[in-house]
C-alpha cells in the first residue's frame, strides 16, 4: 500500500477491482464503511462475481476475468477525452511532457522491438530523447506529437466504451457511470483510492493491471494524498515483510538485486546502478545504492567483507536466468534437475499451479524438508488419499523430513502489514510437543552445516564459515538481536571531518536510520528500508501509542512504518509547486518557507524547495512515469492481452495468444486448452470463512465451510442440467475435480465479442489434510504460466468444461 | 509490552465493589460474603494477557492472547482464549470469522509436535529426535551442495551458485525469522529461492 488501512476513511471514492476486501480483508474493509458513513464516500466494485464487497457497493459493474487492462485504459481514454485530468499534477509530477525516442511504436498488439522466437522485446527504443546536457528532453506545452501524453492519448484511443463492452462484457451504461464517478476525482478536492489484491496479480499480465490503475491515479492526481493511493491489500500477514527482506531468487533485502553473471565485479555491478538524475536538482535516491549494498554485505559477512575483497562480492551467487522463482523450481524438479527442496511454512502442492506436474516434480526429488506448525499436503504428497491424492508411496523415492514449528501465538517478532506497519508481537503460550521456532531451526541447521564445512571442507566454504553470526546463543538467535541487525549498526567510528575530537557515528551504536549508512564498510544494515525500526530509541516496532492528532488516520506513534516511519508514500505530491496542499482539508505536509512539515514524515529532503525538487524521489526523473521506459518486459504502456486460455480471440490483437512475452516452458504451451474443447471461463477465489489451506485445520472454520464446491450461474446450470447441491465434474486440459454445485445469482453470463461467456467460480480452500472434508483446489486445473514480469501464476482466468455427475460413492 | 492491568480483572473488581457497597449499606454483610463464595471465579480472571497480531491476512489485526501460566516466570503457558485488541487502530477490537476462531488454530489436532522422517518408498512418517533430523538435514544439504555447486560458468566468470536445492520461504513468519533464513540460505549460494508473494 502507498497509504494505510486507517487512511481509507479519508477518501471520497473507493474502487475495489481485482480484490474482494469485504470477504478477504473484513476488518480492513471497515474503513471503507467508515468513509461511506462519515464522508459520504461511494464504493464501486468491478468483479466477475457479485461479491459481498459488491453487495454493499453504490455501483457494481461486472467484468470478464482477465480484461481489466481494457477496462482501465477505457477509463483513461474517457478521462483524457472529457478533460477529467488534474492538469497541474500531471504536468508537474508525471512524465507526460517527456519526449520519447523516434523508433518507439505500438501496432497490432506489439511494441517496437519484438522477437517472436525469444518471446522478448529489444527495449532500446522505449526511452526518452536526451538533451545535449544529458537530461531527458521535455515539451511543457504538450504539443510535441512524441511526448508521453500524446503517445498515451493515441494508445488508449482504441478502448472506446463500445470496445470495452466487447472485450470485458461490461454493459456500456455501467461502464460510463464508472467513468463518470472516477473522472470526478480529478478535482483537486476529490480523491479516489484503489484497493486490489490477487484478482489483479494472478494473471499473465498482472503487473500491467496494476500499472494501468496507477497511471489512472496519477492522471487524477490521487497519489501521495490522504484517502488516495494504490493499495495492494496483499495476502498473508507477512508477505510484505518477506518481500521487503528480499526472500526471492533475484533480490537482496530492501529491493536491491542479486548480481547477474555479466556483473563479474562490484564496479561492473554498480555501473548500471548509478541512477544519475534525468533532470537537474532531483534527488534520485537510488544514487545511495552502494551505501545500502555495502552495509548489507557487512551485516552478512562482518569482518570478512572488506574493501580489498569488494566487500565479499563473490560470496553472493550470480544469476544466469532472470529468476529461479517457484514456477521455474517446479519445472527444474520436473525435469529431474533438482535434488532437494525446503518448504518453510508454505504448502506448494496446493498453491502452485498444475498439481499433477507438482506431484511428479516432488517425486523426482531426493529429499524434501518441511517446517510448519501444521501437517500439510506438501509434507504428505507421497501419502495415498484415494482420489484426493492418487499416488503409490512405494514408487516415490523422496526422503521427507518434517520439522514442527511454532505458530504466531508462541513466537516473538515483527510482521509487516499491507500498510507497511512493522508490528512487534509477543508469545502468549508454549508450543505443543517439541515444536520449535523457525529461528532456532535455521540456526541449528546452519551451525551443523558450518561445523561440517570446518571439519571436512567442501565446495566454496568461505561464505558459510565466515557468515556473521553474532548472537549470544549461537544456536538460538533472539528476535531482538535479529531486529537490531536488520535496523543496522555502526561497525567503525566515523570521525567528524570538521572536528577530529568528535564522532559522527560511534562504533557499536544502532544507526538512527538509513540516512547515515556508508559505502566504506563502517556501517552494517540488514535491510535499509527497515532502518529505524530498532535504533538507539529502542524497539520502535513495539510502540503502542494510538493517539492520532486531528484524526488524520496516520497513527505515527503506533508501531513503525517503513521507510522512516512514513505513513503515506509520495506525500510530497499532496502539495502543489508552492508547497500548499491541493486540498486544504486533506493537508498532509506543507512547505513553511524553509522546510516541509505536517502530519506525516515528509517524503522529500525537508529543506528541498517545492518548485525545484519533484516528489517522486526514487525515480531519476523526480516525477512519476506514465510511460515506464524499458523497466517492464511487456511494454512501457499496458495493452490488453487475453489470458492464455480465453473464451474469445483478442479483439484488439487477434494474432496474439496471451501475453506475448510471458515465459512458457517447453511442454506447457501444449497443455493450454482452447475454447472449443473447454468452453467456460473459470476463476479462483477465497471465502470469508477460510484462509487459504490453513483454516481447514481449524475446527470452527471447517464447520462453517466444510466442503469444496464450485459456483455457476442459473443460466449455465439450466443449460447443462446442473442441480444446486448436485455433483459436477469440472476439468481442464491438466486435471479434473469433483465438487458440489452452488447455483447462484451472484454470477451471470456475459456477452463478449458477440459470444455468451459463462463463468465458473472455484474457491481454493480444500485439500486432504485437516478438519474439513477432503476436496480439491483450483490448482488441479490451472495452467503453468506466470506474469511476464514477476511470474505470479495465472490463477484467475483459465478454461474448463463442466458436467453433472451422480453423487460419488464415499 | 504485555498489558499490565487486566481489563477483565479491573472490571470484575469494580463490579464486586458496587455489589459490596450496596448490600453492605443495607446491613446484609453475611449475605454478601455467602453470595461472594457462591460465585465461580471468572475464567479469564487469572489469565495473563499478551499482545499479538492475527497471523492470517495482512490487515494485521491486533489480538490479545489470554493464557494460564506465566511464561515470564518460567511456567508453561497455555492459551485459553483469544480476542480482538480494542486499542488497535485498525481493527478496534473486531475480528473476522477467521480471526475469531484463532484459538482452534493454536489447538488444532493437526499441529505438529515432533520431527518426523519418511524414508524413500515408505508409506508412513516415523518419529525421530531433533538431533537425528537436523544432522540428516545438514548432511543432505552438504552432500548436494558439494556435488553440484557451480563456482565458475563456462566463460570462467565466478558465479558461486547452487541450483540443485531450493528454498521456499513462508509468508507468515516474522521479519526476524526471515532475516535469519536469508542469511543461511544466501550464504550457501542458493538461488532457487522464493516466497509466497506470488500466490
DSSP string, chain B: ---SS-HHHHHHHHHHHHHHHHHHHTT-HHHHHHHHHHSPPPGGGG-EEEEEE-SSBTT--EEEEEEES-GGGT---EEEEEEE-TT-TTTTT---TTGGGHHHHHT-TTB--S-EEE-TT-SS-EE--HHHHHHHHHHHHHHHHHHH-EEE-TTS-EEEEB-SEEEE--SSS-HHHHHHHHHHHHHTTB--EE-GGG-
Q: Is the pLDDT of residue A810 over 70?
A: no
Q: pTM value? A: 0.95
CA atoms within 13 A on the CB side of A170: 36
β-pair type (A727-731, A798-805): antiparallel
For chain B, give me the number of helices (H) and strands (E)?
A: 5, 9
Q: What pLDDT, on the 0 to 100 scale, is given for residue B2?
A: 45
Q: Is the pLDDT of residue A435 over 80?
A: yes
* Mean pLDDT, range A288-312, rounded to an integer: 98
Phi, psi values for residue A64, rounded to 5°: -75, 135
Q: Is the pLDDT of residue A538 over 60?
A: yes
Q: Tell me: the pLDDT tens digits for A651-694?
A: 999 999 999 999 999 999 999 999 999 999 999 999 999 999 99
Q: What pLDDT, on the 0 to 100 scale, is given for residue B17?
A: 43
d(CA A367, CA A14): 48
Do residues A222 and A624 lie in contact, with contact meaning Cβ atoms separated by under 8 Å?
no
Q: What pLDDT, on the 0 to 100 scale, is given for residue B28?
A: 63
- Chain A hits for B111, CB-CB cut-off 8 Å, are 373-374, 404, 407, 432, 435
β-pair type (A114-115, A560-561): unpaired
Q: Tell me: the pLDDT tens digits for A201-233?
A: 999 999 999 999 999 999 999 999 999 999 999
Task: Name the DSSP class of A634.
Answer: T
d(CA A409, CA A435): 13
Q: What pLDDT, on the 0 to 100 scale, is given for residue B24?
A: 55
**Is residue A21 within 8 angstroms of chain B, CB to CB?**
no
What radius of gyration do chain B's Cα atoms show?
26
**CB proximity under 8 Å: A 44-103 to B:** none
% pLDDT > 90, chain A: 99
Contact B137 A411 (CB under 8 A): no
- Chain A hits for B105, CB-CB cut-off 8 Å, are 407, 694-695, 697-698
The residue among A8, A207, A237, A454 with the most chain B CBs within 10 A of its CB, best to mutate, is A237
For residue A320, give the C-alpha cell: 544466469
**How far away is chain B from the Cα of A323, in angstroms, using its nearest Cα?**
8
**A127 CB neighbour count, 10 Å cutoff:** 17
- Chain A hits for B126, CB-CB cut-off 8 Å, are none
Q: What pLDDT, on the 0 to 100 scale, is given for residue A809?
A: 81
- Chain A hits for B92, CB-CB cut-off 8 Å, are 30
Q: Which residue of B has its CA nearest to A705?
A: B97
Contact A701 B115 (CB under 8 A): no
- Chain A hits for B114, CB-CB cut-off 8 Å, are 404, 433-434
A94: three-class secondary structure by DSSP = strand
- Chain B hits for A416, CB-CB cut-off 8 Å, are 175
Do residues A172 and A160 lie in contact, with contact meaning Cβ atoms separated by under 8 Å?
no
Contact B50 A318 (CB under 8 A): no
* Mean pLDDT, range A790-808, rounded to an integer: 97
Mean pLDDT of all residues belonging to chain A: 97
- Chain B hits for A444, CB-CB cut-off 8 Å, are 130, 134
**CB proximity under 8 Å: A 348-367 to B:** 348, 351-352, 366-367
Helix ranges, A99-205 (H): 148-156, 161-168, 172-184, 198-201
For residue B46, give the C-alpha cell: 487469572
**DSSP for A241-308, written as a single string:** HHHHTT-STTEEGGGEE--BTT--SHHHHHHT-----SSTT---GGGGHHHHHHHHHHHHHGGG--TT
Q: If 0-12 CB within 10 Å is exposed, 13-18 middle and 19+ buried, where does residue B20 land?
A: middle
**CB proximity under 8 Å: A 537-576 to B:** 542, 544, 546, 548, 555, 558
Contact A399 B117 (CB under 8 A): yes
Task: Name the nearest CA neighbour of A219 among A14, A75, A105.
Answer: A75
How many contacts does A have with B, using Cβ atoms within 8 A? 503
Q: Tell me: the pLDDT tens digits for A686-723?
A: 999 999 999 999 999 999 999 999 999 999 999 999 99
Contact B161 A319 (CB under 8 A): yes
Give the list of residues 6+ apart from residue A475 with CB closer than 8 angstroms, or none. Answer: A440, A443, A444, A447
Q: Tell me: the pLDDT tens digits for A122-169?
A: 999 999 999 999 999 999 999 999 999 999 999 999 999 999 999 999
Contact A449 B125 (CB under 8 A): no
* Mean pLDDT, range A299-325, rounded to an integer: 98
**How far away is chain B from the Cα of A174, in angstroms, using its nearest Cα?**
31
Q: What pLDDT, on the 0 to 100 scale, is given for residue B7?
A: 47
Q: What pLDDT, on the 0 to 100 scale, is given for residue B196?
A: 84
Q: Which residue of B has its CA nearest to A770?
A: B110
Contact B191 A319 (CB under 8 A): yes
Q: What pLDDT, on the 0 to 100 scale, is given for residue B22?
A: 53
The pLDDT-based confidence of A488 (bands split at 50, 70, 90) is: very high
Strand partners, A260: A319
**Is residue A392 within 8 angstroms of chain B, CB to CB?**
no
**How far away is chain A from the Cα of B14, in angstroms, using its nearest Cα?**
25
Q: Which residue of B has its CA nearest to A394?
A: B121
Q: Tell me: the pLDDT tens digits for A361-408?
A: 999 999 999 999 999 999 999 999 999 999 999 999 999 999 999 999
**A806 CB neighbour count, 10 Å cutoff:** 7
The backbone region for A70, taken as left when phi is positive above 0, alpha when psi lies in -120 to 50, beta otherwise, is: alpha
Contact A394 B189 (CB under 8 A): no
Contact B161 A320 (CB under 8 A): yes
Q: Which residue of A has its CA nearest to B77?
A: A429
Do residues A21 and A200 lie in contact, with contact meaning Cβ atoms separated by under 8 Å?
no
**Is residue A318 within 8 angstroms of chain B, CB to CB?**
yes
Contact A396 B61 (CB under 8 A): no
**CB proximity under 8 Å: A 180-199 to B:** 198
Task: Name the DSSP class of B55.
Answer: S
Do residues A296 and A269 lie in contact, with contact meaning Cβ atoms separated by under 8 Å?
no
**A579 CB neighbour count, 10 Å cutoff:** 18
Give me the residue from B61, B193, B196 closest to A27, CB to CB.
B61
pLDDT tens per residue, chain B (199 residues)?
Answer: 444 444 444 444 444 444 445 555 556 667 777 777 777 777 788 899 999 999 999 999 999 999 998 887 888 999 999 999 999 999 999 999 999 999 999 999 999 999 999 999 999 999 999 999 999 999 999 999 999 999 999 999 999 999 999 999 989 999 999 999 999 999 999 999 999 888 7
Amino acid at each position: 500500500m502507498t497509504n494505510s488501512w486507517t487512511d481509507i476513511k479519508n477518501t471520497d471514492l473507493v474502487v475495489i477491482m481485482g480484490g474482494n476486501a469485504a470477504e478477504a480483508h473484513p476488518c480492513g474493509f471497515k474503513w471503507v464503511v467508515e468513509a461511506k458513513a462519515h464522508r459520504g464516500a461511494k464504493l464501486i466494485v468491478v468483479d466477475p462475481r457479485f461479491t459481498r464487497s459488491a453487495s454493499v457497493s453504490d455501483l457494481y459493474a461486472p467484468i470478464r476475468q482477465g480484461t481489466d487492462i481494457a477496462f482501465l485504459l477505457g477509463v483513461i481514454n474517457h478521462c483524457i477525452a472529457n478533460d477529467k485530468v488534474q492538469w497541474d499534477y500531471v504536468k508537474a509530477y508525471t512524465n507526460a511532457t517527456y519526449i520519447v525516442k523516434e523508433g518507439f511504436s505500438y501496432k497490432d498488439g506489439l511494441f517496437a522491438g519484438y522477437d517472436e522466437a525469444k518471446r522478448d522485446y529489444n527495449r532500446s527504443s522505449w526511452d526518452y530523447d536526451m538533451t545535449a546536457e544529458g537530461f531527458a528532453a521535455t515539451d511543457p506545452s504538450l504539443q510535441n506529437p512524441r511526448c508521453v501524453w500524446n503517445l498515451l492519448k493515441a494508445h488508449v484511443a482504441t478502448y472506446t466504451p463500445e470496445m470495452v463492452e466487447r472485450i470485458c462484457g461490461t454493459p456500456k451504461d455501467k461502464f460510463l457511470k464508472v467513468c463518470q464517478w472516477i473522472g470526478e476525482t480529478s478535482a483537486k478536492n476529490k480523491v479516489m483510492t484503489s484497493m486490489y489484491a490477487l484478482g489483479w496479480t494472478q494473471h499473465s499480465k498482472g503487473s500491467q493491471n496494476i500499472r494501468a490503475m496507477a497511471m489512472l491515479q496519477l492522471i487524477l492526481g490521487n497519489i501521495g494524498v490522504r484517502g488516495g493511493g494504490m493499495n495492494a491489500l496483499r495476502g498473508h500477514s507477512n508477505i510484505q515483510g518477506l518481500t521487503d527482506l528480499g526472500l526471492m531468487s533475484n533480490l537482496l533485502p530492501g529491493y536491491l538485486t542479486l548480481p547477474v553473471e555479466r556483473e563479474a565485479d562490484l564496479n561492473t555491478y554498480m555501473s548500471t546502478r548509478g541512477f544519475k538524475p534525468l533532470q537537474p536538482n532531483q534527488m534520485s535516491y537510488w544514487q545511495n545504492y552502494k551505501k545500502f549494498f555495502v552495509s548489507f554485505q557487512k551485516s552478512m559477512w562482518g569482518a570478512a567483507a572488506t574493501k580489498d575483497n569488494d566487500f565479499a562480492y563473490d560470496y553472493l551467487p550470480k544469476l544466469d536466468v532472470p529468476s529461479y522463482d517457484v514456477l521455474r523450481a517446479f519445472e527444474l524438479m520436473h525435469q529431474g534437475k533438482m535434488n532437494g527442496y525446503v518448504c518453510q511454512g508454505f504448502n506448494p502442492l496446493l498453491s502452485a499451479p498444475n498439481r499433477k506436474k507438482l506431484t511428479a516434480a516432488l517425486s523426482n526429488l531426493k529429499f524434501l524438508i518441511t517446517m510448519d506448525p501444521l501437517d500439510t499436503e506438501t509434507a504428505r504428497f507421497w501419502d495415498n488419499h484415494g482420489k484426493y491424492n492418487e499416488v503409490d508411496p512405494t514408487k516415490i523415492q523422496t526422503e521427507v523430513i518434517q520439522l514442527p514449528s511454532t505458530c504466531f501465538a508462541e513466537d516473538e517478532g515483527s510482521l509487516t502489514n499491507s500498510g507497511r506497519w512493522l508490528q512487534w508481537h509477543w508469545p502468549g503460550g508454549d508450543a505443543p510437543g517439541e515444536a520449535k521456532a523457525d529461528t532456532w531451526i535455521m540456526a541449528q541447521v546452519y551451525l551443523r552445516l558450518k561445523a561440517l564445512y570446518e571439519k571436512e571442507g567442501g565446495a566454496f566454504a568461505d561464505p558459510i564459515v565466515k557468515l556473521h553470526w553474532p548472537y549470544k546463543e549461537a544456536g538460538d538467535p533472539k528476535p531482538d538481536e535479529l531486529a537490531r541487525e536488520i535496523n543496522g549498526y555502526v561497525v567503525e567510528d566515523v570521525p567528524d571531518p570538521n572536528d577530529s575530537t568528535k564522532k559522527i557515528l560511534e562504533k557499536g551504536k544502532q544507526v538512527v536510520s538509513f540516512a547515515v549508512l556508508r559505502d566504506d564498510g563502517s556501517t552494517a544494515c540488514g535491510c535499509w528500508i527497515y532502518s529505524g525500526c530498532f535504533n538507539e530509541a529502542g524497539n520502535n516496532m513495539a510502540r503502542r501509542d494510538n493517539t492520532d492528532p486531528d484524526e488524520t488516520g496516520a497513527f505515527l506513534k503506533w508501531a513503525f512504518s517503513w521507510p522512516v516511519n512514513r505513513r503515506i508514500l509520495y506525500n510530497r505530491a499532496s502539495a502543489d509547486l508552492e508547497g500548499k496542499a491541493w486540498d486544504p482539508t486533506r493537508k498532509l505536509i506543507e512547505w513553511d518557507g524553509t522546510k516541509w512539515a505536517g502530519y506525516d514524515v515528509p517524503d522529500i529532503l525537508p529543506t528541498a524547495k517545492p518548485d525545484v525538487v519533484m516528489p517522486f524521489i526514487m525515480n531519476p526523473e523526480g516525477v512519476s512515469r506514465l510511460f515506464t521506459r524499458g523497466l517492464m518486459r511487456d511494454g512501457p504502456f499496458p495493452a490488453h492481452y487475453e489470458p492464455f486460455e480465453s473464451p474469445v480471440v483478442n479483439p484488439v490483437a487477434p494474432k496474439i495468444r496471451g501475453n506475448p512475452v510471458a515465459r512458457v516452458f517447453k511442454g506447457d504451451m501444449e497443455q493450454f486448452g482452447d475454447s472449443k474443447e473447454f468452453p467456460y471461463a473459470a476463476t479462483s477465489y477465497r471465502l470469508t470463512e477460510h484462509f487459504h489451506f490453513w483454516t481447514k485445520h481449524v475446527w470452527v472454520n471447517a464447520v462453517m465451510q466444510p466442503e469444496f464446491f464450485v459456483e455457476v450461474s442459473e443460466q449455465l446450470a439450466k443449460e447443462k442440467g446442473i442441480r444446486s447441491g448436485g455433483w459436477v465434474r469440472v476439468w481442464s486440459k491438466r486435471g479434473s475435480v469433483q465438487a458440489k454445485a452452488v447455483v447462484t445469482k451472484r454470477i451471470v453470463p456475459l456477452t463478449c465479442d458477440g459470444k455468451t461467456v459463462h463463468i465458473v467460480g472455484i474457491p481454493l480452500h480444500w485439500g486432504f489434510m485437516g478438519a474439513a472434508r477432503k476436496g480439491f483446489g483450483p490448482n488441479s486445473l490451472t495452467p503453468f504460466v506466470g506474469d511476464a514480469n514477476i511470474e505470479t501464476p495465472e490463477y484467475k482466468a483459465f478454461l474448463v468444461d463442466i458436467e453433472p455427475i451422480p453423487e460419488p460413492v464415499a | 509490552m504485555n498489558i499490565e492491568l487486566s481489563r477483565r480483572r479491573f472490571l470484575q473488581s469494580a463490579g464486586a465493589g458496587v455489589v459490596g457497597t450496596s448490600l453492605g449499606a443495607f446491613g446484609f454483610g453475611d449475605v454478601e460474603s455467602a453470595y461472594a463464595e457462591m460465585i465461580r471465579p471468572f475464567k479469564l480472571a487469572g489469565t495473563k494477557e499478551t499482545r499479538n497480531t492475527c497471523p492470517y491476512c495482512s490487515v494485521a489485526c491486533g489480538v490479545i492472547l489470554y493464557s494460564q501460566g506465566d511464561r515470564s516466570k518460567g511456567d508453561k503457558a497455555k492459551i485459553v482464549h483469544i480476542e480482538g485488541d480494542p486499542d488497535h487502530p485498525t481493527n478496534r477490537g473486531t475480528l473476522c470469522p477467521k480471526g475469531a476462531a484463532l484459538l482452534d488454530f493454536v489447538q488444532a489436532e493437526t499441529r505438529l509436535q515432533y520431527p518426523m522422517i519418511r524414508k524413500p518408498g515408505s508409506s508412513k512418517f516415523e518419529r525421530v529426535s531433533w538431533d537425528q533430523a537436523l544432522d540428516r538435514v545438514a548432511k543432505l544439504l552438504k552432500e548436494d551442495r558439494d556435488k553440484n555447486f557451480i563456482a565458475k560458468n563456462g566463460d570462467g566468470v565466478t558465479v558461486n551458485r547452487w541450483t540443485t536445492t531450493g528454498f521456499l520461504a513462508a509468508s507468515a513468519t516474522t521479519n526476524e525469522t526471515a532475516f535469519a533464513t536469508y542469511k543461511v540460505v544466501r550464504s550457501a549460494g542458493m538461488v532457487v529461492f522464493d516466497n509466497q508473494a506470488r500466490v
